[in-house]
Structure 1
Amino acid sequence: MIKNLLFTLLLAFNFTFSQNTIGTTQISEGVYEGYTLFTVSTETYLINNCGEVINQWTSNFPPGNAVYLLENGSLLRAGRTASSDITFGGQGGVIEIFNWNGNLTWQYFYDTPTMRQHHDIYPMPNGNVLILAATIVTNAEAIELGRNPDLLSETDLYNEQIVEVTPDGFNNATVVWEWNIIDHVVQDFDATKSNFQDVSLNPGKLDINFLNGGSGSSNWLHFNSINFNPVLNQIVISSRNLSEIYIIDHSTTTAEAATSSGGLYGKGGDFLYRWGNPQAYKQGTESDRKLYGQHYAYVIEPGLADENKIMLFNNGNGRSPLFSEVYVLNPETDSRGVYSYTPDSAYGPLNPDYIYSNPVNPTNFFSGILSSAQRLPNGNTLICEGINGRIFEITPSESIVWEYINPINSNNGNIKIQGDDPSNFANTTFRGIKYGTNYAAFNGKDVSPGEPIELNPNLTECYNLSNPEFKRNQLIVYPNPTKNTVRIRTDKIIDKIEVYNILGSKVGQSNTKVVDLSTQLDGIYFLRIYSNSNTISKKVIKR
């Protein structure tokens, strides 16, 4: 009877003060004022920090996968077609532009039996669009390029291609620049082929026989992001399967981009820089490897903290134990943007300038696929833990000041109810990007907030943030959900914390601001927090 009464009281108290499980689950002072863009199913959402929808765009296609908000307020989005010719994770096929009001203004299919857009696109400053695509290379062509026939497990091989197009009318485009990785491969397997060279002495080219432990499938490279650096006129590329990032010259002509000469840097379309896995060009071993299936490598914009350095999300896929990190690395360059390199060695730096991982237990932060990290103008970093549909913002001191859990089932587009456990449905999110409220796209636009995406939303904590008393006394439990440990962030003195399971039984106690749930079964728990003569209850999900 006492247990049931206690449980009822806990539930009643928790109903008023509990944290959300989806949508905006955490917000505190120091969060960057802006709107976050992400896409799931056929919908693309722009939300404020409370999770309220500022704008929404609807396509006929699921993600394909990147999405960007242009300075004029239009949405640039890649969509996934029903094509079955070139298929692998991240496939796309169509690029669309919608105006602020949701009207489709441009639709361009880059999807034939021999080529298909996938993963990423990028809006160029001149209005053009970069497209990342896979194209078909036959096995016979691959062997002629020096591929070991024993490393061909399918009927063809995918070349990775970047094309720049100028939109033309409603559904056309003109290709104005092109680059193909297959023009920059080297090998030391077959001396009868023209590209037979010492791989270790040619870091500007890709060893066509290095598979990083892969199977030799068609999708041997799996490029998953491209990004343009306008300061140096360079393109940053991420290869998930080879666990490397590359930088190439965009100033070349298409003809030069197929060679090893020409352009601002005199190397044509060869790599200007590479990093992450030096064994790929025989300048290291597995112990020298830094990247594991990384995503979203880009150069931080001038004027921001760590400007001109490279930020990326290091997924950690394929290592043990499994955990993810955010890296900031600083390649050494001269004033012309030429990367420092000592012949017959690996590109530096030896280690990143900065690494973020979960401060309590690295394995609590992991997304084997998808994901992104973005430096914000106030010095914070926005991180998308894609496999878990989690977007969160950290300060330079690594305090979490905002967290959002995607409330949409990414398999069927169904929207969940506030309070639902996000571990019970797929809510994968390819990328999350935040735009400041002063971004040009919002000039003259109606940015009045609508309802949050999730059903039966609870905005109490977000609205209370504007209350000075709340700001002074706020109490936040994080991370929530958790795998092992939760922490209490508050300026109050904590006397003790009691832990109750869903049956109302007390299962633990802590006299600090850290609560260890590692020995408890997965499920819902209630923390009863005592501070002076006050108590508050918080619901925690362990999974």
Structure 2
Amino acid sequence: MKKKLLLICCFLVNIPFTTSQNTVGTISITNAVEEGYTLFTNHTEVFLINNCGQVVKQWTSDFPPGNAVYLLENGNILRAGRTSSTDITFGGQGGVIELFDWDGILLWRYFYDTPQHRQHHDVFPMPNGNILILAATVMTDTEAIQAGRDPNSLPDSELYNERIIEVEIVGFNQANIVWEWNINDHLVQDFDNTKDNFGDVSASPEKLDINFLNGGSGGANWLHINSIQYYPNLDQIVLSSRNLSEIWIIDHSTTTAEAATSSGGTYGKGGDLLYRWGNPQSYRQGTEIDRRLYGQHYPHFIDDGLNDAGKIILFNNGNGRNPSFSEAFIINPPTDAPGVYSYTPDTAYGPLSTDYNYLDPINPQDFFSNILSSAQRLPNGNTLICEGANGRLFEIDTNENLVWEYISPVHNISGLILTQEDDPGTIPNNTFRAIKYTPDYPAFLNRDLTPGNVIELNGNLNPCDNLDVNEFEIANISLYPNPVIDQLYLSGSSEVNSYILHDVLGNIVREKMLDAQSINFSSLNSGIYFLRLRSDNSSITKKIIKQ
């Protein structure tokens, strides 16, 4: 949070002051941090915190994470929870999807949890109000063998198919399934020519080899998809298979019937894989030397208006790599047309190298999370990283300087809250993912964002109190008149050199350098806008009413 809010925070919240280094909560912060609010979930709680670690909003569920959580544009919270079911169990298990309003009222609770299917890891809020749900379904050993699985690679005597369903919310606890995709409709094998899906694995990159185990045991949870993210620009879904160390892209424009085939949809390939990357051994177009991913999480297209928009960012965990270290990747899949990915037969999908790769700048092995985690590109060019296994959230600028660091003080199993100066390494404070929302995000319109206490006990605001006082210069800008008809004037704006104007839906209306002490609003429609003013190392957002 910028200094303009920090001073207010100090008066609003009575927090004991100490001079020691924080061990949990906000560890460090600089003026270059992106202004905004970070969302994450631990135990049964969902927290929305400012950059000082103060809770701006908190939601409580009856269920621990299962695992994803999102803040919707209308202020609602979409969250997956973990039930006590033991029918389908593995890391990331869920079973229930919940929708809460801004005030914490439960609006909808839908169980997708039976002996034959169970939600896990991720859900996704669609632009039309529907919800994508990731689920595992059970294939018996007979079904798996008929699909071409080597019987010697069935130690659990069953196999989990991975399914995505899109549901329409009905009432308080019901849903209509309006679309479905299953990976078991897109398999290939060359093990047994008397069984289904027999073909040439190396010539079928659009299919998944049911016998590729990536060095694993072949257990029921052989794929372990841990993320589904939708990209509306292309109407495509990005998936992450942790156990196979691959990301996949599929077409969402198909009907359910087409999604079970290899034809139909915008891209003409039905539900087959449109693109895959990270481990070309899976379709026999490379060796271990060509492998780039190791148990990755949260691959997604970077949104419009951000640096590297349209490229894919992900957290590469490094699980199973020797030596072990994590990194954040950005790749730019080569295309022949928008959403049509370039491929040359008998080769691996490109690119050969990443467009961006963050490692710990001093010792790569000091940055390592074998599970969970995420990376997110922010409007000011910074990158927010969640080092999930350690409950550590941190933000780096474009020069990879650390500009914000936060350690979750919440015991992920019991909900125990640490006291400041406790060692966070003594508890499991695992954090699945963290997402930052800027102040102009529509969910915050007309909301009370008064900061409360920090999460940790005996907390303090030392890191924020020590911010450079120069931040006051951009924080104390005067804008007038507001409401505005034609010209909006800036006073005390010597630090400001550019601005971005958003509408209430978050769309960029204008982005340009500031070449005068005023901004012309005369051509804009009446309504509410959010004006982000930028200096060389900071930014601030103001709400503007255009009459």
Q: Same fold (TM over 0.5)?
A: yes
Q: Distance in 2 between matches of 1:380 and 1:83?
A: 40
SS of aligned partner of 1:64: strand
With over 3 angstroms needed to count, the CA separation of the structure-2 counterparts of 1:444 and 1:153, relative to structure 1, is same
| Percent of matched pairs sharing the same residue | 68
Map 1:52-71 to 2 at 5 A: 52-71=54-73
Q: Distance in 1 between matches of 2:329 and 2:422?
A: 32
For the Cα contact (< 8 Å) 2:31–2:471, is it kept in 1? no
- Aligned pair count reads 457
Q: Which residue of 1 aligns with 2:366?
A: 364
Q: Which residue of 2 aligns with 1:453?
A: 455
- What is the CA distance between 1:194 and its match in structure 2? 3.5
Q: Distance in 2 between matches of 1:142 and 1:366?
A: 35
- AA aligned to 1:416 is L
Superposed CA deviations along residues 244-286 of structure 1, whole A, max 9, x for unmatched, are 0000000000000000000000000000000000000000011
Q: Distance in 2 between matches of 1:298 and 1:461?
A: 32
- What is the CA distance between 1:166 and its match in structure 2? 0.6
Superposed CA deviations along residues 104-142 of structure 1, whole A, max 9, x for unmatched, are 000000011100000000000110000000000011001
After TM superposition, the runs of 4+ consecutive aligned structure 1 residues lying more than 4 A away are none
SS of aligned partner of 2:175: strand
For the Cα contact (< 8 Å) 2:138–2:158, is it kept in 1? yes
- What is the CA distance between 1:234 and its match in structure 2? 0.1
Q: Which residue of 1 aligns with 2:186?
A: 184
Q: Which residue of 1 aligns with 2:281?
A: 279
Q: Which residue of 2 aligns with 1:142?
A: 144
Q: Which residue of 2 aligns with 1:346?
A: 348
- What is the CA distance between 1:334 and its match in structure 2? 3.0
Aligned partner (choices 107, 126, 133) of residue 109 of structure 2: 107
SS of aligned partner of 2:350: coil
Q: Which residue of 2 aligns with 1:481?
A: none
For the Cα contact (< 8 Å) 1:165–1:176, is it kept in 2? yes
Structure 2: any 5+ residue segments left out of the alignment?
Answer: 1-16, 474-547
For the Cα contact (< 8 Å) 1:65–1:119, is it kept in 2? yes
Q: Distance in 1 between matches of 2:463 and 2:285?
A: 52
CA RMSD of aligned residues (A): 1.2
- What is the CA distance between 1:461 and its match in structure 2? 2.4
Structure 1: any 5+ residue segments left out of the alignment?
Answer: 1-14, 472-543
SS of aligned partner of 1:140: helix
Aligned partner (choices 364, 367, 374) of residue 376 of structure 2: 374
With over 3 angstroms needed to count, the CA separation of the structure-2 counterparts of 1:469 and 1:344, relative to structure 1, is closer
Q: Distance in 2 between matches of 1:226 and 1:237?
A: 5
For the Cα contact (< 8 Å) 1:74–1:97, is it kept in 2? yes
Aligned partner (choices 332, 335, 348) of residue 333 of structure 1: 335
With over 3 angstroms needed to count, the CA separation of the structure-2 counterparts of 1:305 and 1:469, relative to structure 1, is closer
For the Cα contact (< 8 Å) 1:464–1:470, is it kept in 2? no
Q: Which residue of 2 aligns with 1:297?
A: 299
For the Cα contact (< 8 Å) 2:18–2:460, is it kept in 1? no
- What is the CA distance between 1:447 and its match in structure 2? 0.7
- What is the CA distance between 1:451 and its match in structure 2? 0.4
- AA aligned to 1:354 is Y
SS of aligned partner of 1:308: coil
Superposed CA deviations along residues 207-266 of structure 1, whole A, max 9, x for unmatched, are 000000110110000000000010000000000000000000000000000000000000
- What is the CA distance between 1:409 and its match in structure 2? 1.1
The TM-score normalised by the length of structure 1 is 0.83
For the Cα contact (< 8 Å) 2:66–2:80, is it kept in 1? yes
The question of 1:197 aligning with 2:194 is answered no
Superposed CA deviations along residues 495-530 of structure 1, whole A, max 9, x for unmatched, are xxxxxxxxxxxxxxxxxxxxxxxxxxxxxxxxxxxx
Superposed CA deviations along residues 138-167 of structure 1, whole A, max 9, x for unmatched, are 110011011000011012100000000011
- What is the CA distance between 1:18 and its match in structure 2? 2.9
The question of 1:421 aligning with 2:423 is answered yes
- AA aligned to 2:241 is S
Q: Distance in 2 between matches of 1:16 and 1:39?
A: 27
Q: Which residue of 2 aligns with 1:35?
A: 37
The question of 1:154 aligning with 2:156 is answered yes
SS of aligned partner of 2:340: coil
Q: Distance in 2 between matches of 1:262 and 1:459?
A: 56
SS of aligned partner of 2:381: coil
For the Cα contact (< 8 Å) 2:140–2:157, is it kept in 1? yes
Q: Distance in 1 between matches of 2:451 and 2:460?
A: 15
For the Cα contact (< 8 Å) 1:19–1:26, is it kept in 2? no
SS of aligned partner of 2:342: coil
Q: Distance in 1 between matches of 2:293 and 2:441?
A: 33
Q: Distance in 2 between matches of 1:463 and 1:256?
A: 58
The question of 1:236 aligning with 2:222 is answered no
Q: Distance in 1 between matches of 2:43 and 2:197?
A: 44
Aligned partner (choices 21, 35, 47) of residue 49 of structure 2: 47
SS of aligned partner of 1:259: coil
Q: Distance in 1 between matches of 2:308 and 2:338?
A: 19
The TM-score normalised by the length of structure 2 is 0.82
- What is the CA distance between 1:294 and its match in structure 2? 0.3
SS of aligned partner of 2:336: coil
Q: Distance in 1 between matches of 2:29 and 2:288?
A: 40
